Chains A and B, each alone.
Chain A
Amino acid sequence: MSHSDPTTLALVALGEDIDPADAAHLAQCEQCLTEVAELTEVVTLGREAPIELAPAPEHVWAGIRAELGLLGAPEGSDRGRVLTLPTAAPAPAAEVPPQPDTTVVPMRPRRRPMLGVAAVAAAAGALVGGGLVWAAVDEGGQPIGPQGQLVAQAVLDPLTADVAQPGQAEVLDSPDGQVIRVDATALPARDGFYEVWLIDEGVTKLVALGALPAGSVGTFTVPPGISIEDFPVVDISLEPLDGDPAHSKESLMRGVLEV
């Protein structure tokens, strides 16, 4: 007699009833029984498992970085040590000739995350990010009136020598949700454009808010579902005109929102 259909064995493991012919075969076939026993163990473990793995609290990542002395590294000291993973699935080793360390890693064009689609991108500068959330972006700079209740504010410290004055960020409650008003009048005009980001404390997640013209004040919508308590860091980066949605690693101003 031929063995039971593999899908039937899976259903037995799940505890479903099967037809008598399969049951009769199973009763006398060691091979099928072993298979069922293993699959049953998988099902049992699965049913005992939590539906979601409880994520570690935010402070754990900061604690790890602190304990390993990876926090507070001077600006730029992480450069050359981050974001060095290859992007593409590797070719078999035989086809990869040994390369000196100075060889520039060829990068395949990366996927362009669509707006509103969660994608994992890389973080930047002293931000040694892990997975980043790419949130729906309000096409920034909309002149939403600054009316509304002040919820939080931050002083944005300049991170480069050619920015003399700090900037400011204010989060306001508006009828349409929270908005953040970013004053970066001290930023000089440069090639590329400025982009405003919200970043979490563990520097593992990043939300792009939109572009900010040089020397201006912009108002952005805090994307619904994004809490400034989870993303308290306001960052302004200089982005090259390369169509790449990821953070450029070049942060010019940064500050932490205080409620």
Chain B
Amino acid sequence: MSVLTLPPAVRRTAPTFGTIGVVLTDVTDAQVAAGFRDGDEQALNEAYRRWSGLVHATALRATGNPEDAADITQTVFVNAWRGRGTYRPEAGSLPGWLMTITRRRIADHWESRSRDARTRAAVEATEPVEEAVPPEVERIAAQMLLADELDRLGEPARRIVRMAFYEDLTHSQIADRLQMPIGTVKSHIRRSLDRLRARMVVEDVAL
């Protein structure tokens, strides 16, 4: 189903006891995106809750500096909220759009670093120092998207995939440790890899 077919997320109703206390786990990403586009502050909160980790972790790995990562995260959400009128849900997911902004802000960050280095070199009349090499931002973004999607896998799939990824256990070792049938472990692995791959495709990560 296309996100375009969703009903409008924002209704201007007077709050009553009956209309508050929304359990946001019931709200889909697409609904958060639609609310965000329409200027619903609650959708901003929810978007921040869901995706600020993704943005921040990407900025942190790309800059290697906690302060820069915090600044970039703040700028990304401020830019996104102010520019929400230009966000088109039909063109991509909200986290995908946030990550596009994140990549740009990271690029700006590196550009201003090398500009500073050139200025310093000019002022000090020295040979330009070797410029800091921008990291592979696309790659980092893809890694973080993957971490995010992995975190969204339900149990026991998440646990199984983590054991396979990070503990380097074979499927039979995992089955052994979790006391699960080998076939169950195998199908969790396959389904999870499919889901992770699907997220990469949705977010336009070249595989």
- B17 CB contact (under 8 Å) in A7, A82, A122, A248: A248
Complex CA–CA separation, A101 to B8 (angstroms): 10
Cβ proximity bits A152-179 to B, threshold 8 Å, 1 near / 0 not: 0000000000000000000000000000
Distance of B200 from chain A, by nearest CB (Å): 7
Interface size class of A (residues with CB under 8 A): 35 or more
A50 / chain B contacts, CB cutoff of 8 Å: 57, 61, 143-144, 147
User: Which residue from chain A places its CB closest to the CB of B39 in the assembled complex?
Assistant: A81
A51 proximal to B (CB < 8 A): yes
Given A45-B200, A85-B46, A131-B24, 10 additional A-B pairs, CB 8 A: A10-B186, A16-B170, A68-B78, A84-B35, A85-B35, A93-B5, A103-B13, A104-B13, A121-B21, A129-B45
Question: Are A87's CB and B27's CB within 8 A?
Answer: yes
Question: Are A39's CB and B193's CB within 8 A?
Answer: yes
- CB contact under 8 A between A39 and B197, given known A53-B57, A63-B74: yes
Question: Are A130's CB and B49's CB within 8 A?
Answer: yes
A181 proximal to B (CB < 8 A): no
A204 proximal to B (CB < 8 A): yes
Interchain residue pairs with CB less than 8 A apart (27): A6-B190, A42-B196, A42-B197, A53-B151, A56-B52, A56-B70, A57-B66, A59-B70, A61-B48, A61-B52, A63-B70, A64-B74, A82-B40, A82-B41, A83-B21, A85-B35, A86-B7, A86-B9, A86-B27, A87-B26, A88-B26, A91-B7, A104-B19, A107-B19, A110-B26, A122-B42, A248-B21
- CB contact under 8 A between A84 and B190, given known A110-B22, A122-B20, A248-B17: no
B82 / chain A contacts, CB cutoff of 8 Å: 68
Question: Are A120's CB and B24's CB within 8 A?
Answer: yes
- CB contact under 8 A between A60 and B73, given known A53-B57, A81-B40, A92-B1: yes
Complex CA–CA separation, A148 to B5 (angstroms): 59
Cβ proximity bits A172-203 to B, threshold 8 Å, 1 near / 0 not: 00000000000000000000000000000000
A3 proximal to B (CB < 8 A): no
Complex CA–CA separation, A81 to B39 (angstroms): 9
Residues 62 to 95 of chain A near chain B (Cβ within 8 Å) = 63-64, 67-68, 70, 78-94
Distance of B54 from chain A, by nearest CB (Å): 6
B94 proximal to A (CB < 8 A): no
Question: Are A90's CB and B6's CB within 8 A?
Answer: yes
B98 proximal to A (CB < 8 A): no
Question: Are A53's CB and B144's CB within 8 A?
Answer: yes
Residues 100 to 144 of chain B near chain A (Cβ within 8 Å) = 139, 142-144
Question: Are B57's CB and A90's CB within 8 A?
Answer: no
Residues 201 to 259 of chain A near chain B (Cβ within 8 Å) = 204, 240, 242, 244, 246-249
A54 / chain B contacts, CB cutoff of 8 Å: 53, 56-57, 60, 69
Give the number of residues in B that approach A within 8 Å (Cβ atoms).
78
Complex CA–CA separation, A92 to B5 (angstroms): 7
Cβ proximity bits A107-130 to B, threshold 8 Å, 1 near / 0 not: 100110100000111101000111
A105 proximal to B (CB < 8 A): yes
Complex CA–CA separation, A104 to B70 (angstroms): 39
A-B pairs with lowest CB-CB distance, top 4: A246-B21, A130-B49, A53-B53, A56-B56
User: Which residue from chain A places its CB closest to the CB of B196 in the assembled complex?
Assistant: A42
Question: Are B21's CB and A46's CB within 8 A?
Answer: no
Distance of B2 from chain A, by nearest CB (Å): 9
Complex CA–CA separation, A103 to B8 (angstroms): 12
B55 / chain A contacts, CB cutoff of 8 Å: 56
Complex CA–CA separation, A80 to B193 (angstroms): 42
With most chain A CB atoms within 10 A of its CB, the pick from B23, B55, B146 is B23
- B42 CB contact (under 8 Å) in A85, A91, A242: A85
Question: Are B21's CB and A110's CB within 8 A?
Answer: yes
Distance of A56 from chain B, by nearest CB (Å): 4
